[in-house]
């Protein structure tokens, strides 16, 4: 039997239902923040499923969780597949989780079909892909791929001031797994990530499989504006250093400067913090995040200069600064993996199309280590980072069938 024939739609769907209970929200979505109790619970659930199948599990110093199915050549660099289990605060139940569960389903299908592979095959759940609690996002995969230093990431704080090192220790205590010695990272033969598209193209074009060719570039910034707290009733406008008034001038100018004619640039201010946050005190400090993305690095570079210029021009009388938190260049996936995904989708008789990814994924970092590619499946109306995110059991299983065929091929090279 082939791996694809051993993929079970019902089993894969039920695992999504089981995982969605962890951090489940009334609207049907999930809030499973990185390194939270809910994250630990999802790690334990995945580990229990792995143990039941006799797969080895292990973790690393940044908390990435690995499930290993042995190959005939245990020393060979493994083929890996996975994604993330952490979510947005009002996230959907498929973003990230589908890639982890499709990878686990692939291991189970290989086992059920009795398929031997030369290379070990590993399913991985990367730590903190979303970056909504701790910045930067795609942290676990970036440390694994040597893009970020472990020591720097361990010192990161969330919005409440919790240090990542402490949250990680608590998570690994609540969800213990054998720790692989040494710094995160090991040789990998190839990596393929399955994910919902998080956009409407597959649904609009009635295709089941997205053959992902690459990921657009993305940069994140934090703008900090320092004003002067003052009494809302007694302080004349001329005497104020109102940090929020400066923030609104700056934000308005940034939205105008990033309104490109072809609507390709993605500019988002997702989080604003106004301090002290009292109705009758003039704000003394405002910070806000910027998430900016485009397929061309030169466009991002040009706009980065514009953003800095706007902050410099419009912040007065409040001192202000803009700090770049992440800068991930556009990713082009390996031709041999892209071609293999397309060939396996065709061989399974699944409609498919080549397409770039607008969303960021762990694959953008792993691509620095080994031949990497992605497989997309549709999500309803392209909605994601929203509790209404939805997918069908048939599409999820179709993506897993392509995945297991691709992994088997790569693991026998």
- Shortest reach from residue 84's CB to Mn ion, in Å: 6
- Taking the least distance from each CB to ligand HGY, the nearer of 381 and 413 is 381
Q: Which does 389 bind (CB under 5 to 8 A by kind): Mn ion, ligand HGY, none?
A: none
Report the distance separating Cα 245 and Cα 225, nearest Å.
10
Mask of contacts with ligand HGY, 330-359, x by CB under 6 A? -----------------------------x
Report the distance separating Cα 53 and Cα 195, nearest Å.
24
In the chain, what's the furthest Cα-to-Cα distance? 79
- Shortest reach from residue 129's CB to Mn ion, in Å: 6
Contact (CB, 8 A) for 92 and 387 = yes
Q: How many residues bind ligand HGY (CB under 6 A)?
A: 5
Written as six digits, the tokens of 254 are 């940034």
- Taking the least distance from each CB to ligand HGY, the nearer of 55 and 94 is 94
User: Which residues, listed in sequence order, are joined to residue 177 by a DSSP beta bridge?
Assistant: none
Please tell me what DSSP assigns to residue 15. H
Q: Which does 137 bind (CB under 5 to 8 A by kind): Mn ion, ligand HGY, none?
A: ligand HGY
For residues 77-116, which are near Mn ion according to CB under 5 A?
Answer: 95-96
Q: Which of 226, 199, 242 is nearest to 356 (CA)?
A: 199
Report the distance separating Cα 363 and Cα 365, nearest Å.
5
For residues 125-164, which are near ligand HGY according to CB under 6 A?
Answer: 129-130, 137
- Taking the least distance from each CB to Mn ion, the nearer of 96 and 284 is 96
Within 8 A by CB and 6+ apart from 202, the residues are 208, 209, 210, 353, 355, 376, 377, 378
Q: Does 362 bind Mn ion (CB under 5 A)?
A: no
Written as six digits, the tokens of 210 are 């997205």
- Taking the least distance from each CB to ligand HGY, the nearer of 196 and 243 is 196
**CB atoms < 10 A from the CB of 114, how many?**
9
Q: Which does 360 bind (CB under 5 to 8 A by kind): ligand HGY, Mn ion, none?
A: ligand HGY
Contact (CB, 8 A) for 113 and 404 = no
- Taking the least distance from each CB to ligand HGY, the nearer of 129 and 387 is 129
- Shortest reach from residue 313's CB to ligand HGY, in Å: 29
Q: Which does 106 bind (CB under 5 to 8 A by kind): Mn ion, ligand HGY, none?
A: none
Angstrom CA distances, 373 to 81, 213, 247, stand at 10, 7, 40
- Taking the least distance from each CB to ligand HGY, the nearer of 129 and 242 is 129
Written as six digits, the tokens of 370 are 């080994």
Q: Which does 39 bind (CB under 5 to 8 A by kind): Mn ion, ligand HGY, none?
A: none
Q: Does 360 bind ligand HGY (CB under 6 A)?
A: yes
Secondary structure in 3-state letters for 54-70: CCEEEECCCCCEEEEEC
Q: Does 91 bind ligand HGY (CB under 6 A)?
A: no
Report the distance separating Cα 121 and Cα 277, nearest Å.
51
- Shortest reach from residue 137's CB to ligand HGY, in Å: 5
- Taking the least distance from each CB to ligand HGY, the nearer of 283 and 360 is 360
Q: Which does 283 bind (CB under 5 to 8 A by kind): ligand HGY, Mn ion, none?
A: none
Q: Which of 405, 357, 52 is nearest to 218 (CA)?
A: 357
Residues forming the site for ligand HGY (CB under 6 A):
129-130, 137, 359-360
Residues forming the site for Mn ion (CB under 5 A):
95-96
């Amino acid at each position: 039997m082939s791996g694809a024939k051993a993929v079970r739609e019902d089993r894969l769907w039920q695992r999504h239902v089981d995982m969605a209970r962890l951090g489940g929200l009334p609207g049907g979505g999930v809030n499973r923040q990185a390194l939270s109790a809910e994250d630990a619970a999802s790690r334990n659930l995945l580990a229990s499923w792995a143990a039941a199948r006799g797969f080895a599990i292990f973790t690393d110093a940044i908390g990435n969780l690995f499930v290993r199915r042995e190959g005939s050549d245990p020393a060979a660099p493994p083929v890996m597949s996975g994604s993330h289990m952490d979510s947005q605060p009002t996230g959907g139940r498929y973003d990230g989780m589908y890639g982890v569960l499709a990878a686990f389903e692939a291991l189970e299908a290989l086992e059920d079909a009795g398929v031997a592979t030369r290379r070990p095959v590993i399913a991985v759940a990367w730590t903190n892909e979303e970056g909504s609690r701790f910045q930067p996002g795609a942290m676990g995969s970036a440390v694994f791929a040597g893009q970020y230093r472990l020591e720097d990431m361990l010192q990161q704080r969330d919005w409440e001031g919790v240090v990542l090192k402490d949250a990680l220790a608590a998570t690994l205590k609540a969800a213990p797994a054998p720790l692989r010695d040494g710094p995160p990272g090991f040789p990998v033969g190839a990596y393929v990530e399955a994910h919902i598209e998080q956009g409407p193209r597959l649904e609009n074009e009635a295709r089941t499989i997205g053959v992902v060719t690459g990921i657009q570039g993305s940069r994140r910034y934090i703008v900090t504006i320092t004003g002067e707290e003052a009494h809302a009733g007694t302080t004349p406008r001329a005497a104020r250093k109102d940090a929020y008034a400066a923030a609104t001038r700056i934000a308005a100018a940034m939205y105008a400067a990033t309104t490109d004619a072809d609507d390709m640039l993605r500019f988002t201010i997702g989080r604003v913090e106004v301090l002290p946050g009292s109705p009758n005190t003039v704000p003394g400090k405002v910070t806000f995040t910027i998430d900016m993305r485009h397929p061309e690095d030169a466009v991002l570079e040009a706009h980065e200069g514009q953003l800095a210029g706007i902050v410099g021009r419009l912040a007065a009388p409040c001192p202000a600064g803009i700090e770049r938190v992440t800068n991930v260049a556009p990713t082009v996936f390996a031709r041999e993996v892209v071609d293999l995904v397309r060939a396996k989708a065709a061989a399974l008789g699944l409609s498919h199309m080549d397409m770039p990814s607008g969303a960021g994924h762990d694959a953008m970092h792993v691509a620095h280590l080994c031949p990497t590619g992605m497989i997309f499946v549709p999500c309803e109306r392209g909605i994601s980072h929203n509790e209404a995110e939805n997918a069908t059991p048939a599409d999820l299983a179709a993506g897993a069938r392509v995945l297991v065929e691709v992994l088997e091929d790569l693991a026998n090279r």
